């Protein structure tokens, strides 16, 4: 039977842990509201922008189309931009994104393709480098960024576009988690180079537009912006997904700590009762001996 002092120390330790997890849950809930609002407010613009881009791409996708739309004519080298969180304690959020990226990399390698990986977020870097260190080429550190802004997406987009202009890869795909609600975040892969409109971003049907200057000239200006826009939308979705996953994980941890405290308290009371019973037996036995 466990020592009473040890049980008391364990109960005190678990209570302290429960206070921490409860505080982290409340902080995540406060941050989630802001992150969710940012992600949801960005969706109408992103969806409309992708619809316009899809229409332009459909009408100007022939010869003379910009390289970001037409591609290099090959798909031998793939760049994977894996976006996760800088911190842990958020359930399977980081692991699910890394798992999807690693599965995609494995499929590409099985098809004889070359894979290069850029990570955004320390947790993704740690997970990727364990298994795919030979494919790792760069990391974007956002540890000091308190609030994700469009300039962060632009920095990542400039790096990706510079590598594309330098003919370092043929196809680029971003990996992130799409926020649905507190308990559901969907790991998502989205091709950004050559431009590929996300699902549901079909061009407006039945609407005719006159473009000035030409579609090709407009695309040449908008395609780099489309890369930054998709990256920014993914960062915002990731931010909301991270806080939702952390809130859910800390809620589970708080409830588990409460259950453990109840079990330890019962064990402590039983042990204490056994000690008292033994002492009484010893006192009675000593009295009878006299």
Read off the pLDDT band of 284 (50, 70, 90). confident
Residue 178 domain flag: yes
Specify if 11 maps to a domain: no
When mean pLDDT is compared across 56-70, 71-85, 124-138, 221-235, the lowest value belongs to 56-70
Residue 118 lies in a domain: yes
Work out the end-to-end distance of the chain between its first and last CA atoms, rounded to an integer number of angstroms: 31
* Residue 33 belongs to a domain: no
Q: What are phi and psi of 275, to 5 degrees?
A: -65, -45
Domain annotation covers residue 99? yes
pTM: 0.85
82 in helix, strand or coil?
strand
Domain that holds residue 236: 42-246
**pLDDT per residue over 5-27, tens digit each?**
888 999 999 999 999 999 999 99
Task: Count how many domains the chain has.
Answer: 1
Q: Is the model more confident about 108 or about 282?
A: 108
Q: Is residue 112 part of a domain?
A: yes
Catalytic residues: 90
What percent of the chain is predicted at pLDDT more than 70? 90
- The answer, yes or no, to whether residue 205 has pLDDT greater than 60, is no
Our CA angle for 23, 178, 184, nearest 5°, is 55
pLDDT at 177 over 90: yes
* CATH code of the domain containing 235: 3.40.1380.10
pLDDT in tens, 57-112: 777 656 667 788 878 888 899 999 999 998 888 988 999 999 999 999 999 999 99
Please count the other Cβ atoms lying within 10 Å of the Cβ belonging to residue 154: 17
Read off the tokens for 219: 């695309």
- Domain assignment present for residue 261? The answer is no
Identify the CA nearest to 193 among candidates 108, 107, 100, 70. 70
Determine, yes or no, domain membership for 36.
no
């Amino acid at each position: 039977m466990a020592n009473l002092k040890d049980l008391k120390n364990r109960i005190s330790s678990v209570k302290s842990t429960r206070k921490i997890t409860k505080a982290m849950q409340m902080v995540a809930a406060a941050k989630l509201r802001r992150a969710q609002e940012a992600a949801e407010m960005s969706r109408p613009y992103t969806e409309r922008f992708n619809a316009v881009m899809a229409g332009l791409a459909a009408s100007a996708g022939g010869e003379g189309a910009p390289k970001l739309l037409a591609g290099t004519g090959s798909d031998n080298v793939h760049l994977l931009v894996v976006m996760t969180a800088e911190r842990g304690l958020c359930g399977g959020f980081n692991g699910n994104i890394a798992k999807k990226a690693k599965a995609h990399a494995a499929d590409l390698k099985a098809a004889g393709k070359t894979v290069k990986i850029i990570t955004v977020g320390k947790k993704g870097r740690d997970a990727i480098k364990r298994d795919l260190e030979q494919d790792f080429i760069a990391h974007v550190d956002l540890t000091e960024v308190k609030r994700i802004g469009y300039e962060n997406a632009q920095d990542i987009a400039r790096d990706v576009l510079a590598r594309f202009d330098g003919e370092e890869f043929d196809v680029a795909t971003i990996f992130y988690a799409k926020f649905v609600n507190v308990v559901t975040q969907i790991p998502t892969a989205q091709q950004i180079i050559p431009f590929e409109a996300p699902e549901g971003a079909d061009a407006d049907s039945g609407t005719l537009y006159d473009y000035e200057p030409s579609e090709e000239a407009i695309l040449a200006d908008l395609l780099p912006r489309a890369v930054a826009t998709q990256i920014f939308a993914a960062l915002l979705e990731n931010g909301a997904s991270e806080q939702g996953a952390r809130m859910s994980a800390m809620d589970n941890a708080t409830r588990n700590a409460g259950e453990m405290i109840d079990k330890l308290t019962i064990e402590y009371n039983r042990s204490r009762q056994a000690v008292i019973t033994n002492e009484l037996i010893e006192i009675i036995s000593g009295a009878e001996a006299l």
